[in-house]
Chains A and B, each alone.
Chain A
Amino acid sequence: MKGILESLGRIGAKLATRKYTAGYPEVKPELPARYRARIVLTRDPDGQERCVACNLCAAACPVDCIDVVKGETDDGRWYPETFRINFARCIFCGFCEEACPTQAIQLTPDFETADYARESLVHDKADLLIAGQGKQKGYRYWSVAGKAIGGKDKGAAEDEAAPVDLKDLTP
């Protein structure tokens, strides 16, 4: 009896609270920047693709919905020849973002990914790659990596000494 009255009281108290219904889709919810929804591939401050096809996102993915195939440009830059995410499988866990060493793959608050056909939930690189840096500004993987690429010679990366002169015998 006491329990029933307590429950009635609690439900009755709800009559006095503010209405909570959101007017979606007319009114878009404001989600925090770190909300985990649509996955994008970002570019570095120079507008170059950040992804280097290292495959760590694919390895971290618990549902194996990311497929990456490495390509290499003539100047030595690695890039994803294929980058495919099957959003029908994706559980938006964000492990891919955590695993990414180049801050290329990022989850965004855009949660409206529903579709009528399963085929259209398979997103390729063209669907994923955005123009900007996303929420991680300023990071440029190639300027900390040791591999030389076009426009960045050996020794030109951050914290790198000039290439060794092998004929030098000084201590």
Chain B
Amino acid sequence: MSKVRLTIDGIEREVEAGQDLLSASLGLGVDVPHFCWHAALGSVGACRLCAVRVHDGAEDTTGRIEMACMTPVAEGQRVELADPEAYEMRARVIEWLMVNHPHDCAVCEEGGACHLQDMTVATGHHRRRYRFTKRTHRNQDLGPLLTHEMNRCIACYRCTRFYRGYAGGRDLDVFGAHDRVYFGRYEDGPLESPFAGNLAEVCPTGVFNDKGWSETYARKWDMAATPVICTGCSVGCNLFAAERDGRVRRVQNRYHGAINGHFICDRGRFGTLHVTEDRLDAARVGGTAAPVAEATAAARAALAQGAVGLGSPRASLETNAALRHLVGPERFFAAVPEREARAVGRMAAWLATGRAASLKEMEQADAVLVLGADLTGVAPRAALALRQTARGAADALAAEKGVPAWLDNAARGAGEGRKTPIALVTPMPDALDDVATWALRRAPEEIAPLGRAVAAALGGAAADEEAAGIARALHGAERPLIVVGADGALVEAAGALAEALGDGARLALFPPEANSLGLALTGAGGLEGAVAALEAGQARTAVIAEADLFERAEAELVERLFAAAETVVALDSAETETIRRADIVLPVADWSEAAGTFVNHEGRAQRSFAAVPNGRSAGWRAIRDLCAAAPAWETLDDMLAAMAADLPQLAPARAAAPDAAHRLPLGQVARAPWRMSGRTAHDLAGRVPEGTPARDTDAPLAFSMEGAHGTDAPPALRTGYAVPGLHSASAAPRVTDGPRGPLKAGDPGAFVLQGVDAPARETASVPEDAATGAGLIPLALDDPFAGDELFRRAARLADRCPAPVVALHPEDAAARGLAAGMPVAVAGAAPVALTLDGDVPRGHVAASVGRVLPRGARAPVTVEAAS
């Protein structure tokens, strides 16, 4: 990129050419007040707040007032932010914006973290001079996730620009006219988009806010934030978990340039709050509560009989490595069926070829083929990225005409609605159909053949019209992208396609869970191996670490394990079906109580830290206590060192974040902001000795306000943006390199896939469980609001989540004498009212993943009327 030199308030600066003056200024740390501009949404010049005086060059002495967001940077430009006329204009603009703003800050959740407050203070407006009435609006009930307080709206249009333009939602819009415009739905009801929660951060004032946070409210300055990694899917979005009094109050997006950027999905934002629901707090032996020491001793005795370990795709690398150490590599298995373990292993092999695409790279692709995956259900944030991919072609056309992409409205017009070619091959209608060039419906078993046909067509073989069309689009692209989920045949097809496409091709492979890839890298085989070992008498005990087997494998297989194991030892953070059935139960930490490392879909190891002090013990610590000769794992760093020794391929994961001994000039990194209030009163209900803050031995983070804040900390340890004068999420552009670029100090995370030896490639004939026998072939229905057994417990997300679905093609239903609404049982699962849907392929039964059927199941199942 070329550079231009310009002068801002008398100081000469050098910035990248081609950007707008506002982005450039914010990037330089010059706070130009702004309002409607959002780093991810670009410039529209609606609010008129970023007025500055711009002189074209040295000879232009008069200059003119311009909107910084709408002005491209140019060589020799002189910009005056402090110009009295520009200052006056900004002050008047804020005064107009505040004319109807209610006197609500004291009773507004946004107060203290509000962009409107920040900008009002920045421009000096403090007294309402307008003496006439304020316009008022009635609110809507927007469902269990978001509040709506329309009086506070200042009509910046950020919400509709995000919801409709960026996230592709349809049910939020602007109504009315003049200064009476109204942002809401056409009637009360929950917002449909699984990204609606972002409105709480996008809205620069208090119109939309997190309803759950409002219920357990604490001001932003009163909450200690911790950098954590979302465990809701394999994307691994970076989050801030804000805590007060030992309770996680709110989860917010934490900017990561290559992954989540400015937005996360509702599953991540609201589902992570499952931590208060259905907690497992006491150990049990044989169904009765027992002290942890007693349960540990009982488990040890059982382990002495020989044990298999079942690692979890949602547990941290450390917990899985500890379990592998406990039972030995030969007896360590994954708590998922063999088909999934193998598919994810093959994903790792393909990703190790250097073709992994981050979400950022997905957005930059210029032709995409999605095979089989319902991306919105499997990895919702990736679906949002794919929507931006779709816009790439329009931006490219606009750029040809000289319209930069940041000039949002103009670029949309100049782009003529051109769409990046996206082929979406799924069994059922998909939420992304509206951005797809080809929205093809194929039965699940026909998708891999289509992928192979496209690969063959790329090699010059004859193909049908659709495969040839897709092949042409991919072939003509510089950065083609193949997207698949955890399905063995599809992973191979995707790999074959990428090879046929050459070096520029990228793979976005989405395993089912937060640490599926990490578990696969330990080399664990599937659940079947554990069952076989137990049935053959090689082991008598099964240790299950943080996984509900019934969620992940067919009930029949799990029952065989429970029948074959003399003792089942289960560790988890919540009451699950597996915990209920286990003989010895040990409570362990959930994501909010312990640090851990997770490997996301692209092979990036990321560290999550404990958000609340004094939580339950981490999974690996509980497992350490089960070892006959307790290993010397005192801190997370000890555990990571042991893991690196046992599993050298995971050694790079140690670099995911600085170790616990890391110190900055100011010491540790403070979780709490400087202004944390009530320190000397809040734990004093009836007792005076003031406690010392809890210590965190697993992180260089302090449970207090003492230490480094904001950008003083390395990116993996940031507990807030901490930009003076900017207290809301709108401060993010100040810590990034360009509005959508990486964090200034580099995006956190460490790649673990480099140098991974690919497991032997099975030929194209990965067993495609042929549909044999009677019954219907299951078809997984993912839902962005569902998630795994833990996320589904989060009360507000559960309220928003649609009921479980079992759907049949009407003719299949008629053949079985079933009618819509009849309670039906699939493979003996709990009955669900039947839906008839002509979109379900014949011979298949579509059912909600996890709630009705385990994911990835292919063997035909019975569907019968429940009595």
Contact = CB atoms under 8 A, between A and B. Distances in A.
A102 to B, nearest CB: 6
Given A122-B686, A147-B104, A64 B680 contact: yes
A160 B134 contact: yes
Given A146-B103, A164-B182, A166-B175, A155 B681 contact: no
Interface string A104-136: 000000000000001100101000000000000
B673 to A, nearest CB: 10
B106 A52 contact: yes
B136 A163 contact: yes
Grouping DSSP codes into helix (H, G, I), strand (E, B) and loop, the B interface class, with mixed when no group exceeds half, is loop
A88 interface: yes
Interface of A: 52, 54-56, 58-59, 61, 63-70, 72, 78, 84-86, 88-89, 101-102, 118-119, 122, 124, 141, 144-148, 154-155, 157, 159-164, 166, 168-169, 171
A70 B109 CA distance: 10
A161 B136 CA distance: 6
Contacts of A122: 681, 684-686, 688
10 contacts: A59-B221, A63-B680, A64-B678, A65-B678, A78-B107, A119-B687, A145-B106, A146-B103, A160-B133, A164-B182
A55 B182 CA distance: 30
B610 to A, nearest CB: 23
Contacts of B127: none
A166 B152 contact: no
B679 A64 contact: yes
Interface in B667-695: 675-682, 684-688
Contacts of B134: 146, 159-161
B176 interface: yes
Given A65-B680, A66-B677, A119-B687, A166 B180 contact: yes
B111 interface: yes
A160 B175 CA distance: 21
Contacts of B684: 67, 84, 86, 122
A55 B152 contact: no
Given A67-B677, A164-B176, A166-B180, A154 B103 contact: no
Interface in B126-181: 132-139, 149, 151-152, 175-178, 180
Contact of A61 (B105, B106, B132, B677): B677
B133 A154 contact: no
Contact of B111 (A54, A58, A160, A161): A54
Nearest to A81: B217
Contacts of B676: 64
Nearest to B102: A146
A89 B138 contact: no
A171 B176 CA distance: 11
A86 B136 contact: no
A70 B679 contact: no
B218 A70 contact: yes
A70 B223 CA distance: 13
B681 A54 contact: no
A85 B681 contact: yes
A154 B677 contact: no
Contacts of B437: none
A101 B137 contact: no
Contacts of B176: 164, 166, 168
A111 to B, nearest CB: 20
Contact of A171 (B111, B178, B219): B178
Nearest to A155: B136
A148 to B, nearest CB: 8
A145 to B, nearest CB: 5
A64 B677 contact: yes
Contact of A89 (B111, B152, B221, B680): B680
Interface string B259-300: 000000000000000000000000000000000000000000
Given A58-B677, A164-B180, A166-B175, A88 B688 contact: yes
Q: Which of B175, B215, B219 has the most CB of A within 10 A?
A: B219
B137 A70 contact: no
Given A66-B678, A85-B681, A86-B680, 7 more contacts: A59-B677, A68-B678, A70-B218, A84-B685, A122-B684, A157-B102, A159-B132
A147 B175 CA distance: 21
